[in-house]
Structure 1
Amino acid sequence: MSLSPQVLLSSLARERCVANVKELPGFFFTKEKPKDNASVLVPLCVQNGEVYLLYTLRSSNLKNHSGQVSFPGGKKEEGESVVETALRETEEEIGVPASNIDVWCEMPQVQGRNKDMLITPVVGEIINFDPTALRRNFNEVEEIFTVPIKELCDKRNHAHLRYEKHPIPLFMYEKHKVWGITGLITHLFLQCFLPSEVYKGDFLRRKFELDELMPSKL
Structure 2
Amino acid sequence: MVLSPRILLSNVAREKCKACLREQPQLFIQNGAISEPKAAVLLPLCVINEEVHILYTLRSSALKTHSGQVSFPGGKIDKGEDVIDTALRETEEEIGITRDAIDVWCTMSAVQGRDKNMLIKPVVGVIKDFEKRVLVPNFHEVEEVFTVPISALCDPLNHAHLMFDNTPLPIFLAGKHKIWGITGFITHLFLQCFLPSENYLVDFMRKKFDMNELLPSKL
Paired position in structure 1 for 2:21:
21
| Aligned AA (1:54) | L
Paired position in structure 1 for 2:88:
87
Paired position in structure 2 for 1:40:
41
- TM-score (ref. length: structure 1): 0.96
Say which SS state the counterpart of residue 26 (structure 1) adopts: coil
Paired position in structure 2 for 1:6:
6
> How many residues are matched?
217
CA distance in 2, matches of 1:29, 1:119: 11
Paired position in structure 2 for 1:117:
118
The farther-off stretch of 196-205 and 143-152 is: 196-205
- The answer to whether the Cα contact below 8 Å between 1:41 and 1:90 also exists between their aligned partners in 2 is yes
Displacement of 1:143 in angstroms is 0.2
CA distance in 2, matches of 1:31, 1:154: 37
Sequence identity percentage: 62
Paired position in structure 1 for 2:215:
214
**Where in structure 2 are the equivalents of 1:30-109 lying within 5 Å?**
30-34=30-34, 37-109=38-110
Gaps of 5+ in 2: none
Q: Deviations over 1:141-174 (max 9, x none)?
A: 0000000000000000000011111111100011
Aligned-residue Cα RMSD (Å) equals 1.5
| Aligned AA (1:143) | E
- The answer to whether the Cα contact below 8 Å between 1:3 and 1:150 also exists between their aligned partners in 2 is no
Q: Deviations over 1:19-77 (max 9, x none)?
A: 00011111116325248600000000001111000000000000110000000000000
- The answer to whether the Cα contact below 8 Å between 1:36 and 1:116 also exists between their aligned partners in 2 is no
Paired position in structure 1 for 2:146:
145
- The answer to whether the Cα contact below 8 Å between 2:44 and 2:127 also exists between their aligned partners in 1 is yes
CA distance in 1, matches of 2:165, 2:29: 8
Say which SS state the counterpart of residue 102 (structure 1) adopts: strand
- TM-score (ref. length: structure 2): 0.95
**Where in structure 2 are the equivalents of 1:199-210 lying within 5 Å?**
199-210=200-211
Paired position in structure 2 for 1:189:
190
Gaps of 5+ in 1: none
- The answer to whether the Cα contact below 8 Å between 1:37 and 1:76 also exists between their aligned partners in 2 is yes
CA distance in 1, matches of 2:154, 2:27: 22
Displacement of 1:131 in angstroms is 6.9
